Structures are given as C-alpha cells and as structure tokens.
Chains A and B, each alone.
Chain A
Amino acid sequence: MTFSPELEAKFADLVTHYPEGRQRAALIPMLMFGQEEVGSITPEFMEEVAKRLGLNTMQVDEVVGYYSMLHKKGMGKYHVQVCTNVACMLRGGAELYDHACHKLGLGHKEVSADGVISLEEVECMGACSWAPAIQVNYDFHHEVTTEQLDTILEGLKK
C-alpha cells in the first residue's frame, strides 16, 4: 500500500515521538491521519499499519473497533456531525439533527448515494457554550440554526 509523500513523512516523524521500542504508540495517530487520505480504515490499511508497527492485524482490529472516529465503512466526503448531547439538546440540537436527517434523507452513519455527504449523531464535542454545534469533517460550526444548517448543507453539495 502506498501513501502520499506528505503522509509518509508524517508517519516517519510520528514513530520518533515515542520511546525506543514503544512505536506501537503511533498506531492511533497513524490510523487517524491515514484515514483522512485512505477514506476509511480498510483491511489493507490495517495490515499495512500493523506491518509497520510490528503488530498483527488483529491487534489493529481491536483498536479500530474501539474508537468511534475510526470508520471501517467509508463516510462521505463531507461528514456532517450533529451533537445532541445535553448542552446542545437544551438549545435545539436534537431538532437540528432531525432536520438534517430529513433534509439529507440520511440516518445515523449513513452516506448519500453519491458519497458526498454522510451524517452522524455525535456526543458532546466541546462546543457546549456555543450550542447547538455541528462539525463538518473537522470544522466546527457554532450556534447553528436550521436555516444556517440548510446553507451549510447547500454549500457542501456544490
């Protein structure tokens, strides 16, 4: 499996961050950063990372299954995450999520047919004081109203 030179450089740098012999520590960062490029945590990707860190694939599989941001199934090009946890819920997060479902015709962790947009109902993402909040990929949007959500979603489709 090959990666872009930038990602290769990142991987090469990552393993130097941890004590000698403890390079397994680079596993989660490698999966997270690699996922951005590969699109999802594919079996080949897991095998490749395992090989580089001297692990077996099962050990990688154990880790991948644990973390909610590591997706074996590819998400959309734009992954829309709506928080419905308490602080957001108090300010309309649940309604915002329902709105997104209807608007996109998608449910939790579903991907649009063209692969452009996916939706996920997520737990608190650290924007409680500016609720309700959403994240599109890694970009935060604060105090999102349904109208604003529509605009954001329209923007993604283009």
Chain B
Amino acid sequence: MALVNVTINGVQVQAENGALLIEVAKQNGIEIPAFCYYEGMSLQAACRMCLVEVEKAPKLMAGCTLPVAEGMVVRTESEPVVKARKTTLEFLLSNHPLDCPVCDKGGECELQDMTFKYGVGESRFTEIKQHVPEKQWSPVVFYDAPRCILCYRCVRVCNEGMGVGALGVSYRGVNAEIIPSNGDHLECDECGSCIDICPVGSLTSGIYRYKTRPWEMEHVGTVCTHCSNGCKTTLGVRNNEIVRGNNRDKSGINGEFLCVKGRYAFDFTQHPERLQTPLIRNAAGELEEASWSRALKLVAEKFKALAGPDFGVIGSTRTTNEENYLLQKFARTALGTASIDHHRTGDVVTLIDSLSGKTGQLATAEDLYTSKAVLVVASDLSQQQPLLANKIRANVRHHKAAVYTVTPGPVREDKIARKAIRIAEADSLAGVEQLREALSKEAELVIIYGDAIQGEKVRQLVAFGESLGIPVKYVALVDYANSRGALDMGLLPDLGPGYHATAPGRSLQQMLDDPKLAALWVVGSNPLKGGKSLASTNAFVVVQDLFLTETAQRADVVLPAASAYEKNGTVTNVCGQVQRLKKGIETVGSKADLAIIGLLARGMGVNLGKVDADAIFAEIAASVPGYNQLPMPVILTGGAVQTHPVNGGVPPSSVPGIIASARDTLFTTGSLTRYSKILNEVLEKPGALYS
C-alpha cells in the first residue's frame, strides 16, 4: 500500500494511506485518548474522546475513524482539542455515579485514568443524577447501568469476538442501556470477555465483585489448566486465594481471550472437598487420614515390593511435562514396567507419523488467525476448543478467511462458514471430499480434526490435504491442558518421550481389564469415572489427586496433589506450543506431583537426580526430540514456542489404545467441573448456545 506523509503535532511521519489516524499516532508514540475505539473491532465514533484538530477541516475530527491522507496536518494536543476532551469527560462524569471508592474497577478504570490525565478538577454538575438499580444477568455477569459510558465494547466483543451476540443496546438517549440476550438474563458463553473489556465498572464479575481492590492483588501470569488450548491467564491473588483470572495485558497466544473456564473456574482450588492430607485404607477398609511421612513410607515400600511388569501407571492430561517425563522415566526404570498410559483424547501420533519427513505442517494457534482458509472436521470447536474457535472468528473478521465445516450437527462456525457440511462423524471424510474443489482453490489451509478421525482416517485426511496442491497445516485436537504433553513425554505403552519405540506394555484399558495387575499408580486421572471398576481386585492402588474421585475411592493410598495453579513447570498445548506454568498460590497440605514422585523415589532409594521443574526441563530439552533447541528465554518470559515436529516416522503401535475425547462443553472440564462452584452455577442455567 502506498505511503503518505502526515504531520502529527509538528512531526512528519509516514503511514499507510487510509490507515486510521489513531493507529498511526500510536505507532509514532502519540496517544489519542479513546473509549469506544478498540483495536480489531468495528468502529463506533461514539465517545468523541479522540477528537483532534485537522488542518482545513471545519471542525474537530474523530481520530478513530479518520483515514490519513497525503499532506494531512493533525494536532492532538492543541488548545481546542484539550478543551474538547475536558468537556467530553465533564459530560460523561455529569451522569456518572461517583462511587469509585466501592467500585471493583477503581484503580484500573479507564474513566478514572482519563479524568486524572485529561479531566478538570471540579464538577459543575449540580443536578440530580439518573439512578437505575444494578442488575444480575447471570451467575457471573452483573450490570450497573449508571456506570455505563456506552462505549459498546461489550456488545462488540460478544458479537464480533465471541460470535455469541448476547448483548445489545436498547432505549435511547440518556436512557440507553445495554441489554442481555433474554430479557432479564443472559444465555451465553459466560466467558466474561464483556466484563474484562468494560473500561469502567459497569459490568462486573459475580466472582470478583467487591472482593478486593486491584492494587491489593498480586498478579501471576500462568497458563489455564482447563482445556488443551493453553490460554495464558493472569491470576489475581490475594491472601493466597485466587480471586480473578484475566489476561488484560494481552500477552500470550490468546491475547485477551479467555473462556468461562479460564476466567472463572479457578475456584476449584478453594473447594471444601479439596484433599489436604494423605489417606490410607485402614484395617476396617476405610480411608483414614494419615501423615505424609507414613503414607509415603507405605507407598515406597509397596512400590518396591510390587515393581515389575505387572505394575500399571496411569498418568495425567493436566500434570506438567516435567511430571509426566519423570513419571514415565521412574516407571520404566525404577518400577520396571512398560504399562504406562493416559486418557488419550485425540490421534496426534498418527498425524505425526503421516507427516514424517515434512516440516512446518503442524499449525500453531496463530496460524488459525492468519491462514487464508480453515477446515474444521468433526469438532464443535466453540464448545470444545474455545480459543481456537476465537482465533478463527478473528481471522474471518480481520482477514476474511474462508471457513469450512464438516460436522454431524450445527456448530457456531457454520455462521461464518463459506460451506457447512452436515454429515455423520463416521462419514466425515466423505464430507471433506465434497469440499475438494473449493479447498483446492484456496491459497493455503489449516485442517483441524476431532477424535472421530483416528488411525487410518488420519492418514486418509492427510493424503487428502497433501493432494490439494496447496500448503496445508494440521491440528489434531486433544482435550486437556497437557494432553499433548502427555503424548510428547511418552505416557504411552509403547512409545517413550519424543515418540521413540519402547518395549510394549499395557494400555490404559488393558490395565483396568487385567485381573493379574499387581499395582496401579494413578497420577491426576480418574479412569474409574462413570462406575467403571478394576478387574484386579487385589491390586494395590495409589492415587494422586486434588479430590476424592471415583478412582481415589478405590485407592489404598490417596496422596493430595497440587493443581496447575499451585506449581511451576511447563505444559504443551493442542498445537504443540510449550508454555510455562507459574505458581500462583501455595498449597495447604497437598504437594505437587513432581515432588511426590521425587519423595517416593527417595523412599525407594532410587536416584532420579535433582527433582525440580527447571532441572527436569533441562533434561527434557537435552533428550526429548522436538523439545531440544526450544528458545528458553521466550518460554521463561511467558511466551509460547512450538515444539519441532518429530521427523522420521513413529513406529506402528503394537498396543492399540482407545482414543476418545470427553466431549467437554464450554462449561465442563472433566472432573474439575464438579468442584468449580461457578461452573456448576452456570450449568444450572444452561444457555441456548445456538441462536
């Protein structure tokens, strides 16, 4: 695009012809104040904060909608501009309840900041203010109309950002206010994006309300523990309690996006049923509280005695890479077993094998935002992969990306799709084939597929993609925060870290079904969920978990574990992007799984080397293909780095495992859901998600 010369405050700068003045100014270090302008969203020109002086224009112009042109001369701090700003703020404050002292937003309110920076000191308003009572729209969303400055950010983030469109504007003039989808309440994703984006304290969160003031919190940047998408989240911590999750600094792969789980469902950490002390099954057959030393001693002794090929180990989809790595290493070396597995939710393995010899064909989250076309196969993305869905929506909005869906039922992506094919999951590939002509005309493509595509079907899908004659990237969808890491770290019965062949052992199902199983060690998983039982009635069962799950109830020893928000380490998201977890709060009574593994090893007299997250990660980086050469500074500073694809093929599996996604919705997240009060509240009022 052609460059033009623009003079801003006497300084000549170059800018793309037609770029918005407010952006051009920002690029050149000049701030034009704005309430309604929000980068990446549709233009409003409503707040009039951004008025600037443009030479030859008869009146002040809105910088947020003004395209720059050759020779334009702009002043953003001249006397008329400053006066206009002051008066706009004065108008705004005239009807604004001055309840900053009790407002949640106090301290990080854009209206406060703006008033501090540009406003006048005193108020000339002496009339009676309009009062409207506050409304609760959902368990998480409250609306206080008098505080609302009608910037329409919430409406746009919900409509354009979330693709939900649950917020509107009604009435007019001074009575205008934001309204929720269903008359007096919201039926929506409950993502809280609207609350987060509100520049003032008009929309507030049911969880955070009146709990604290922003400056009383510590802010810890870590990664959401709920789904595989790996959103960066900043935990607001006060008195060792997480009171807020958001990503206002827009860092990480998710920008400011978080779904309901990431934003609110951290409350499981405080759940009263949270295990705080180890439990040992007593003579009467009941689980009884015990000290850590007694429990660890007992487990170490038993493990030593039962080590061998009939020992089963089930790992987790939420524990860190370091924990997973150490767990399989410990199992394979010290426990002498090959029976290691975890709850597999998507066929990453076959994808990696199908792409062997090729590079750069595993898509990142960012690719979904930039690719010219996206094909979604057999997945309800908005429900199950919220961030990926959000990326695609933004891509459509900003780059007019072409989206195609092949799904058994209606999905939200249909609304933005060029073509939406309705077909049974089993026939997905036939559905994909129908799109051949359209897809081959695209410049590039990302194919995302759910668990219905596994084994041979993955190979067929890749063959289809490779036959289109355009660059294609792939994402094999998995469910949980470290589902991908569990695979990469070799929590598999015949593949070690980096998908290296190892001696085969039992798969998860085979462990459950084998009456000869001598011991079962379950770390952060609930394989007996849904009334399943263990065929081996004699097996000694040890469970590490946060709660007394169905599996923990069967255990001989239960060791209380720390959650992802309570420890350091790394996790790998659905796109193979490695990110760092940072400890937000200290645990009471429970220990991180890494520490537990280390203590058990020590109890058994096994030397695992230095057991801390950094040391283990160094070992991973040194030994696990794909994890070598990751730029550490990026990860350490909270960035995400994609692992390198494993080149050279994955050995064919001799131990077929069952791959099944839990098909979580936006409001469920495996067993954690049950312990999140807020998710349960939201679930009690399920929303009509497809309007």
Contacts and interface: CB of A to CB of B under 8 A. Distances in A.
Q: Per the CB under 8 Å rule, do A and B touch in the complex?
A: yes
Nearest to B167: A58
B336 to A, nearest CB: 61
A62 B182 contact: no
Nearest to B688: A56
Interface string A56-70: 111101101110000
A64 B183 contact: no
Q: How large is the interface on A (under 10, 10 to 19, 20 to 34, 35 or more residues)?
A: 10 to 19
Contacts, number: 29
B172 interface: yes
B172 A62 contact: no
Contact of A66 (B165, B166, B171, B691): B171
A62 B170 CA distance: 4
Interface string A40-83: 00010000000000001111011011100000000000000000
A43, A56, A64: most-surrounded residue (chain B CB, <10 A): A56
Contacts of B181: 56, 58
Nearest to A55: B691
B603 interface: no
Contact of A61 (B166, B172, B183): B183
A31 B170 CA distance: 16
B172 A58 contact: no
B171 A58 contact: no
B365 to A, nearest CB: 30
B169 interface: yes
Contacts of A64: 170
A135 B180 CA distance: 35
B171 A57 contact: no
A59 B183 CA distance: 11
14 contacts: A43-B183, A56-B691, A57-B182, A57-B183, A58-B166, A58-B181, A61-B170, A62-B168, A62-B169, A62-B170, A64-B170, A65-B170, A65-B172, A66-B172
B179 interface: yes
Interface in A80-95: none
Contacts of B172: 65-66
Interface residues of B, number: 13
Contacts of B170: 61-62, 64-66
A61 B167 CA distance: 11
A35 B57 CA distance: 46
A57 B172 CA distance: 18
Contacts of B169: 62
A62 B181 CA distance: 10
Contacts of B168: 58-59, 61-62
Interface of A: 43, 56-59, 61-62, 64-66
B44 to A, nearest CB: 15
B183 A62 contact: no
6 A-B pairs with least C-beta separation = A65-B170, A65-B171, A62-B168, A58-B168, A56-B691, A62-B170
B179 A61 contact: yes
Contacts of B171: 65-66
A129 B171 CA distance: 31
Interface string B166-191: 10111110000001111100000000
B129 to A, nearest CB: 21
Contacts of B180: 58
Contacts of B183: 43, 57, 61
B351 to A, nearest CB: 39
B195 to A, nearest CB: 18
Given A43-B183, A61-B170, 14 more contacts: A56-B165, A57-B183, A58-B166, A58-B180, A58-B182, A61-B179, A62-B168, A62-B169, A62-B170, A62-B179, A64-B170, A65-B171, A65-B179, A66-B172
Nearest to B691: A56
Contacts of A56: 165, 181, 691
Contacts of A61: 168, 170, 179, 183
A40 to B, nearest CB: 16
A64 B168 CA distance: 12
A141 B234 CA distance: 66
A53 to B, nearest CB: 14
A35 to B, nearest CB: 17
A59 B691 CA distance: 12
A59 B181 CA distance: 8
A66 B172 CA distance: 5
A62 B167 CA distance: 10
A57 B691 CA distance: 10
B326 to A, nearest CB: 51
Contacts of A59: 168
Contacts of A57: 182-183
Nearest to A65: B170
A65 B180 CA distance: 13
A45 to B, nearest CB: 14
Interface in B167-219: 168-172, 179-183
Nearest to A59: B168
B170 to A, nearest CB: 3
Interface in B137-189: 165-166, 168-172, 179-183
Interface in B75-113: none
A115 B433 CA distance: 64
A64 B181 CA distance: 14
Contacts of A58: 166, 168, 179-182
Contacts of B166: 58
Nearest to B171: A65
Contacts of B179: 58, 61-62, 65
Contacts of B165: 56
A64 B170 CA distance: 8
Nearest to B172: A66
Interface centre among B168, B169, B171, B182 (most CB of A within 10 A): B168
Contacts of A66: 170-172
Contacts of A62: 168-170, 179
A43 B179 CA distance: 15
A81 B182 CA distance: 32
Nearest to B178: A62
A56 B171 CA distance: 17
B604 to A, nearest CB: 62
Nearest to A67: B172
A65 B172 CA distance: 7
A32 B168 CA distance: 21
Nearest to A50: B691
A72 to B, nearest CB: 10
A36 B643 CA distance: 66
B512 to A, nearest CB: 46
Interface string B678-691: 00000000000001
A62 B169 CA distance: 6
A64 B171 CA distance: 8
